[in-house]
Chains A and B, each alone.
Chain A
Amino acid sequence: MSINADTVKHVANLARLNIPEAEVGSYVDQLSQILGLMDQLNSLPTDDIEPMSHAVDILMPAREDEVVNGDNREALLACAPDSEQSHFRVPKIIE
């Protein structure tokens, strides 16, 4: 797979990143280098190696099914840019 200006814009749009037109070229170069590194890794024989899904070799910690949290509404709503009648208020989602 190769990276061009359209790929960069597409990925930026999915991630809601605003990339100025003048910087698109440098991201094409950087992302292409990263993919180049992947190609290098792909040349190694990995048939006998289990895929790794996490960088740290630990088991998943779990907790008991207990309610320990109370009502934090006021504190959490106060962190939001806008709230109204116990709800987070956001720009209109659908018309």
Chain B
Amino acid sequence: MPIDPNYETVIGLEVHTQLRTKSKIFCGCPNKFGAEANSQICPVCAGFPGVLPVMNREMVNMAIKTGLAINGQIKKLSVFSRKNYFYPDSPTGYQISQYDLPIVEHGELFIDLPDEPKKRIGVTRIHMEVDAGKSIHEGIVGASWVDLNRVGTPLLEIVSEPDMRSSEDAGAYLKKLRAIVRFLDVCDGNMEEGSFRCDANVSVRHYGAEKFGTRTELKNLNSIRNVMRAIDFEVDRQIDLIESGDKVVQETRLWDANKNISRSMRSKEDAHDYRYFPEPDLPPLTLEQSHIDDIKAKLPELPDAMAKRFQDEMGLSEYDAGVLTAEKEMSTYFEEANQIVSNAGKKNAKATANWVTVELLGRLNKDGLSIEDSPVSAVNLGKLVALIQTGEISGKIAKKVFAHMFDDGGDPEKIVAEKGLKQVTDSGSITAEVEKVLASHPDQVEQYRGGKTQILGFLVGKVMQATRGKANPAMVNKVLKEKLG
């Protein structure tokens, strides 16, 4: 959205992804969301003196996977540091993170925007760190409560270059990154539950200016839509400030999704003095090239590669391939449905893609459902497309059957059989119907023979009506032309 054509927007995103390990990063407590308060903690989580963190091997593997998936350099040596700050939800008084030597540097990903070529966004770094607990303030008189269950949840912080120039860029980046971590199965990507969190650094500058403007950091963005809205609001606010002769102040701002505004988080001047130093409880992490190669060899197919395969091997358009690989569930659904169509001996990925992206997604969107909640299973959608491909039913009847499947569920083969919707392809009965229609419409027949050939459509319609839509329209056309010829 061009807010003011004289200004350029500059955006960098920091994404925290909670990793789907079984246990926490530094201890053997379960890493699971939604348990009863403080039921998943131990002396390591609670920051007791004398305890030592022990690294979860799987956390490191997931970091390597993610780094490889974004074409990043995996560092053979990385170091953990202490980030010091006091807050009750972090009982150690510091967060174990990585600072000057993170595990991944110099990555990139490519974002998809409608009607634009793919755009490269640099990823500065990915580092491993530990999540903090949760404090609860509301409804508690004279105190706050602390739940330490989340302490020790393994996090990857993925930091982009300031390469995005609009809220649309930012939205597309988050969609692509979320698709990647979900295809890798390292993170569930749930923004509302906080397992995929985003902070946005936003500044504006006059077009052509070399230096970046003063940036602000936006927090509390719990959906991609809110990230985009908050950025648009912030860009407007910064331009207004500059235009009225004021200055943008470097600060952290909290987004209020109910009011659609951001407000300044009052912070002390020394709040960012974290006094990082190397974590004495953890020696440096060294990696063997063979270990990195092993992980690389086992990487699953990622969204961009899958979209390319859909185009090259199945002949899908770039747009359809993009839609079908935007979510892991979507690609799984499509491939499962398409397999059924192929099994029926009628390979037609384009037809399957059309049914998924147009009919199914259209209806799901209308009903506010996601693909995981689809009342029509992939197998049943595949069967429906197969019925069309094998000529059992017409495309028009298929839409009726689909509506029935969506509303009441069921197997399309059974629905077609029970409702007697099977397409009539028997030339004898079609000829009989054609003859009846011709006999009862002598005027139109004369008009056709007199040169008004567009009347054919009317006659086709009458035959289709007489067969309740079950006649094969191509055959009806053919027989009609023969009889009229």
Contacts and interface: CB of A to CB of B under 8 A. Distances in A.
Contacts of B30: 67, 69
Contacts of B140: 92
A39 B84 CA distance: 25
Contact of A61 (B23, B29, B55): B55
Interface residues of B, number: 51
A74 B113 CA distance: 52
B421 to A, nearest CB: 52
B288 to A, nearest CB: 10
Contact of B137 (A14, A72, A73, A94): A94
B174 interface: no
A48 to B, nearest CB: 17
A59 to B, nearest CB: 6
Contacts of A73: 36-39, 41
B147 interface: yes
Interface string A32-63: 00000000000000000000011110111111
Contacts of A77: 38
Contacts of B142: 92
A89 B148 CA distance: 12
Contacts of A13: 270
B280 A55 contact: yes
A65 interface: yes
A21 interface: no
A13 B280 CA distance: 23
A93 B143 CA distance: 7
Given A10-B270, A65-B21, A72-B42, A92 B137 contact: yes
Contact of A76 (B22, B41, B278, B283): B41
Chain B interface mostly helix, strand, loop or mixed? loop
A63 B55 contact: yes
Nearest to B281: A54
A14 B269 CA distance: 11
B40 A93 contact: no
Interface in B1-41: 21-23, 27-30, 36-41
A13 B86 CA distance: 11
Contact of B37 (A62, A72, A87, A92): A87
A22 interface: no
A7 to B, nearest CB: 12
B60 interface: yes
Contacts of A23: none
B38 A76 contact: yes
Interface string B77-92: 0010000101110000
Interface of A: 10, 13-16, 53-56, 58-69, 71-73, 76-77, 79, 82, 84-94
22 contacts: A15-B84, A53-B101, A53-B278, A54-B79, A59-B283, A60-B285, A62-B54, A63-B57, A65-B21, A65-B22, A68-B23, A69-B29, A73-B38, A76-B46, A86-B36, A87-B146, A88-B88, A89-B146, A90-B135, A90-B144, A92-B140, A92-B144
Given A14-B273, A66-B22, A88-B145, 14 more contacts: A14-B275, A54-B284, A63-B56, A63-B57, A66-B23, A67-B23, A72-B43, A77-B38, A86-B39, A87-B37, A87-B136, A88-B148, A92-B144, A93-B137
